[in-house]
Amino acid sequence: MPYVGQKPADIISTAVDTVTGTFSGEVDAASLDISGNIDVDGTTNLDVVDIDGAVDMASTLGVAGKITADAGIDIDNINIDGTTIALSSGDLTLDVAGDISLDADGGDILLKDGGTQFGTLAAETGGLGISSAIVQDSDIIFKGNDGGATITALTLDMSAAGQANFNAGLGIGGTGAANTLSDYEEGSFTPTWSGYGTDKINSTTGKFVKVGNQVTVYASLVTGTGNDASSVAISNLPFTISGNLGSGTLYHNTAGLRDMHIVTALDSNSTTCRLHGVLSGSDTTIKYVGTDPALGGSSTLIWILFYQTI
């Protein structure tokens, strides 16, 4: 059997071309030092390989053991190094046949954009924590697709202590319109006392609460001392009355009206309500000051209205 080297134990081959350095057959060598390229056509079984330069393989590299790469691994434009998997450009898809499990022993999964954290999924005592607390006043927004259009279904407003703002109302006990609470409002307004001059009013206040289409109005009036025979009415209710669906109750301190049955009259599809008095079957409007039946000077009226709006 031909050989090349100091002794037969160095390299043993079935055939060798001493001009080209080409071996044919099996090569059995205690050590092999090659300063140029090596072209292996077939299978190479090596116990230990120490390569100082680059390795270019045109086919598949099959490794039964572990690969240790202290300086990282580049796969296309993906770099894996230490605790980081980095993609230099484009999107990254994780596509598995089963489930994807994110297991963080620290209890936190951090969501970042360009290295800046904007959210956290965290294990909380007794449940799951979803947080945007890293950025001040950063809302949590729930979006979806409604008939092909992107809509914001719910916004948790962190600048308002987490106030929940629903885009289309809140369904309670069902999904139909009858189960939907679509609006809640509360506020103040200054009642316009129809026909009663502002120079004659001692004081007036107004408040309202609206839940869905149900409105509650609280209005107060302290009359002045000047005469005014106009009928008592508020003409600027905060929401339009639906038909004449509603009623009212009131307090007054006028002795002359205590024997009358005083009722609230709502003008249909308007923002106006009036005071009517019934005595001995006779219906009349209540006046402000001077013409009976009247509230009288320096009198207090507290009027609470309940009605349905359009």
With beta carbons less than 8 A apart as the criterion, state whether 285 and 274 touch: yes
103-116: per-residue pLDDT in tens? 999 999 999 998 99
Mean pLDDT on 36-65: 73
Separation CA 81–CA 261 (nearest Å): 87
Q: Please name the helix (run of DSSP H) or strand (run of DSSP E) that holds residue 302, with its range, or none.
A: strand 300-309
Which tokens is 116 given?
Answer: 């800046």
Strand 233-234 versus strand 273-279 pairing type = antiparallel
CB contact at 8 A, 220 and 202: no
Closest residue by Cα to residue 276 from 232, 220, 242: 232
List Cβ neighbours of 173 (8 Å cut-off, separation of 6 or more): 179
- Kindly state the average pLDDT of the residues 278-303: 91
Distance CA 114, CA 123 (A): 24
Nearest alpha-carbon partner for 307 in 233, 170, 221, 211: 211
* Contact assessment for residue 200 and residue 226, using Cβ atoms and an 8 Å cutoff: yes
Would you put residue 14 in left (φ > 0), alpha (ψ -120 to 50) or beta?
alpha
Closest CA to 182 of 201, 210, 207, 204: 210
Question: Which structure tokens are listed for 275?
Answer: 């005071």
Q: For 107-157, what is each residue's pLDDT tens digit? A: 999 999 989 999 999 999 989 999 998 889 999 999 999 999 999 999 999
Check residue 223 and give its pLDDT: 95
Report if pTM > 0.75: no
Please compute, for residue 98, the number of CA atoms within 13 A of its CA located in the half-sphere on the CB side.
3
Q: Tokens representing 232?
A: 């008592």
Side chain identity at 291, as an amino acid letter? T
Average pLDDT score over residue span 177-196: 92
Q: Are 250 and 264 in contact (CB under 8 A)?
A: yes
Distance CA 109, CA 105 (A): 10
Instruction: Report, as an integer, the average pLDDT of 221-240.
Output: 94
Instruction: Spell out the residues 6+ positions from residue 269 whose beta carbon is closer than 8 angstroms to its own.
Output: 240, 241, 242, 243, 310
Structural contact between residues 248 and 306, judged by C-beta atoms closer than 8 angstroms? yes
Closest CA to 25 of 8, 1, 49, 59: 1
For 67-96, give one letter per residue: b (16+ CB within 10 A) or e: eeeeeeeeeeeeeeeeeeeeeeeeeeeeee
pLDDT in tens, 26-41: 667 767 677 767 777 7
User: Which is higher by pLDDT, 46 or 242?
Assistant: 242
> In this predicted structure, which of 9-23, 89-103, 260-274, 286-300 has the lowest mean pLDDT?
9-23
Give the integer Cα–Cα distance in Å for 294 and 284.
Answer: 11
Length of the chain: 310
Average pLDDT over residues 153-177: 91
Reduced to 3 states, what is the DSSP secondary structure of residue 45? coil
Residue 173 has a pLDDT of 87
The domain spans of the chain are 1-32, 140-182, 188-309
Kindly report the average pLDDT of the chain as a whole number. 87
